[in-house]
Structure 1
Amino acid sequence: MIRSMTAYAGGEREWDGWALAWEVRTVNHRFLDLSLRLPEALRFLESEVRGRIGRQVRRGRVEATLAWKPAVAGTAAIQLNPQLVGQLLEAAREVERLAASSLAPFDALAVLQWPGVLHQPEADRDRLAEQTLALLDETLDQLIAGRETEGRQLAALIEERCAGIRRQAAIARERLPAVLGAIRARILSRLAEIGATPDADRLEQEMVYLAQKLDVAEELDRLETHLNEVSRTLRQHEPVGRRLDFLLQELNREANTLGSKSADAETTQISVEIKVLIEQMREQVQNLE
């Protein structure tokens, strides 16, 4: 399934007094560029996380962030260290004794802010890893679904441009006999104006040579071949962005040749319209994986 490189997904879950939250966003990039942010306590999962993301996302700039904290309503949200609190209070009383005076009243919140007074219980490492990776898989499924939805929309837009190029090419192909006939008539008219009487066989040879030089049927045939390959590529179940980039270069090459061979204003305009459609396709292809 064709995929866009632009998407966002987030997943949350609570487990055993802890809250886990993944955020994954992707934008277009030539290659896979992964930026991963994990809490220090979960850094041991980095290799596995990178592997799972890499198996799902083949191309694009990926920013994945994991948040891990005690759940607000969790039983493990706050745990007091009474032994340390007692030691702090005893130390404060000793300070007052040495100062031989009563100091300012104790602020309970200030005591709670002392390092170690509040602490978080250790989570089960194996179960935490299992929950974290399971949530990552769910988030990646959501991300891929979003990339595929936008990919289908981009593919439809590209197919519309392909259809537009085919219509322009058909007009150019229909005009070929009329264009060549007009050139022949213009040359004969000019010869008549100057009173020249060229050798009929030589004139016919020159007309054939000129017709071959201005004939764009081959370019139109290659345009059609490349357009068919674009449509076929859009139906593949693998990353197609780079292949489409190459095909657009080939389409643009044929459009430029069509313009350089143009012998009338309308064919020149057709070449311009085709290049505009190709550029519109390029803007869409840049967002495809």
Structure 2
Amino acid sequence: MPVYSMTGYASAQHSTAPNSPETDARQAPARRLGLEIRSVNSRFLDLSFRLPDEMRSFEPALRDLLQTKLKRGKVEVRAAVEQTGSGALPEPSVKLLQRLNSVQDSVRAWLPSAVPLSVADVIRLSASEQTPAQDWADAVLPLAEKALKELMQARQREGGRLATMLSGHVTQLRALVQQALPLVPQLVEQQRLRFVERWKEAMALSEGTALPEAAQERALSEATAFAIRIDVAEELTRLNSHLDEIQRLITKGGEIGKRLDFLIQELHREANTMGSKSAALELTRISVDMKVLIEQLREQVQNIE
């Protein structure tokens, strides 16, 4: 199953011919319906619609259609209707002009300061009358399905690029883990020996005598406890385990964004712990490099569905 990004764009158009072959093109020009779908990242599925008034009735059907394919993302659907042809304008009917005149007289009787209808207003209202919403009934959903299919393809292409980038970051993190693993036993033993030596020096300065056997055992116990506190082998094991799961999810595909986001948080936690327990400059450097890569992973995962 592919990995899908939440970012994508698609558009589709549908044109209608005049209402009847016998009708003058100036009265009923051909019209074109344009539909766009834009999608960006979001924690949940957030749908918004910007439709002309004549198409408001189609919003529930469009919402149901999008919800069958999209699971996450902030998705905006825009639709616009425009005339096509060489400047053809609709000619308002006498019936419409009479109705507009009557409505305008009623409004101005109550609101004398109201602005009269302009020619542009009349033409716009005439166009709405001559292409009612039902004229688009057979076109809206097929057009939306076409745009949605293109959107899914765009999201899949972007998701494939993101998956490749994530796999590359995972490989780099594995390499850092492998760099750190040989350092752990060496650093633990070095710190244990250093602790014992300093304990001996302190005892010799304070008493001027050889270190008693009981004190030596105590020093060894303290050194061992300190070595355990700075041992990051467990963190490295968990890092490898999380990286295995991330790679498995990338290979599996589907709706993996939320799961990946959780694993990124766990990676960051282990890298932080490793840095705070580090007793050597080399381990600190590896921890910092890990956190840089993990932050880059986080930014990319935010776009995955």
2:211 corresponds to 1:197: yes
Match of 1:236 among 243, 248, 252: 252
Q: Is the 8 A contact 2:196 2:220 kept in 1?
A: no
Question: What is the aligned counterpart of 1:214 among 187, 208, 230?
Answer: 230
Residue by residue over 1:209-232, the C-alpha shift from the partner in whole angstroms, topping out at 9 and shown as x without a partner, is 233222211111111111111112
1:8-45 deviation per Cα after TM superposition (whole angstroms, max 9, x unaligned) = 11111223333111111111112111110111111111
CA distance in 2, matches of 1:282, 1:117: 49
**TM score, norm. by length of structure 2:** 0.77
Q: Closer, same or farther in 2 for the Cα pair 1:186/1:38, shift >3 Å?
A: same
In structure 2, the CA distance between the partners of 1:82 and 1:188, relative to structure 1 (3 Å rule), is: closer
Q: How far does the alpha carbon of each residue in 1:156-187 deviate from its partner, in whole angstroms, 9 at most, with x for none? A: 21222222221111111110121022213322
Matches within 5 A, 1:37-116: 37-72=50-85, 78-81=89-92, 83=94, 115=122
Q: Which moved more, 1:210-219 or 1:200-209?
A: 200-209
Cα displacement (A) at 1:73: 5.8
**Separation in 2, partners of 1:36, 1:42:** 11
1:3 and 1:151 in contact (8 A); partners too: yes
By how many angstroms is 1:276 displaced? Answer: 1.4
Distance in 2, matches of 1:198 and 1:29, equals 66
Residue among 136, 146, 156 paired with 2:154:
146
Structure 1: how far apart are the matches of 2:74 and 2:301? 15
1:259·1:268 contact (CA, 8 Å) conserved in 2? yes
Displacement of 1:72 in angstroms is 2.1
CA distance in 2, matches of 1:159, 1:114: 57
Unaligned 5+ segments in structure 1 are 88-109
Query: Do the aligned residues in 1 keep the contact of 2:96 with 2:126 (CA within 8 Å)?
Result: no
Structure 1 match to 2:170: 162
1:173-188 correspondence runs (5 A)? 173-188=181-196
Match of 1:246?
Answer: 262
Aligned equivalents of 2:140, 2:291: Cα separation in 1: 49
1:25 counterpart (38, 57, 61) = 38
Q: Relative to structure 1, is the Cα distance of residues 257 and 81 closer, same or farther in structure 2, using a 3 angstrom cutoff?
A: closer
Answer yes or no: is the 8 Å Cα contact 2:192–2:227 preserved in 1: no
Q: Any idea what SS the aligned residue of 1:115 has?
A: helix
CA RMSD of the aligned region, Å?
2.9
| Cα distance, 1:70–1:198 mapped onto 2, change above 3 Å | farther
Specify which of 35, 38, 43 is matched with residue 48 of structure 2: 35
| 3-state SS in 1 of match to 2:211 | coil
**Distance change >3 Å, CA 118–CA 142, structure 1 → 2:** closer
**Please, what TM-score do these two structures have when normalized by structure 1?**
0.81
Deviates more, 1:141-150 or 1:199-208: 199-208
Identity %: 38
Is 2:38 the partner of 1:10? no
Matched to 1:60, the amino acid is: G
Q: Which amino acid aligns with 2:182?
A: E
Which segments of 5 or more consecutive residues in structure 2 lack a partner in the other structure?
18-29, 99-116, 205-209
Q: Which runs of 4+ in 1 moved over 6 A?
A: 84-87
- SS of aligned partner of 1:19: strand
- Distance of 1:113 and 1:191 partners within structure 2: 94
- Which 10-residue stretch deviates more, 197-206 or 134-143? 197-206
Instruction: Measure the CA separation in 2 of the matches of 1:256 and 1:172.
Output: 14
Q: Find the aligned partners of 1:157 and 1:141 in 2 and give their Cα distance.
A: 25
Give aligned pairs, total.
265
SS at match of 2:126: coil
Q: 2-side partners of 1:224 and 1:20: how far apart?
A: 53
- Say if 1:117 and 1:232 are closer, same or farther in 2 by CA, change over 3 A: closer
How far off is 1:188 after superposition? 3.8
Q: Is the 8 A contact 2:89 2:123 kept in 1?
A: no
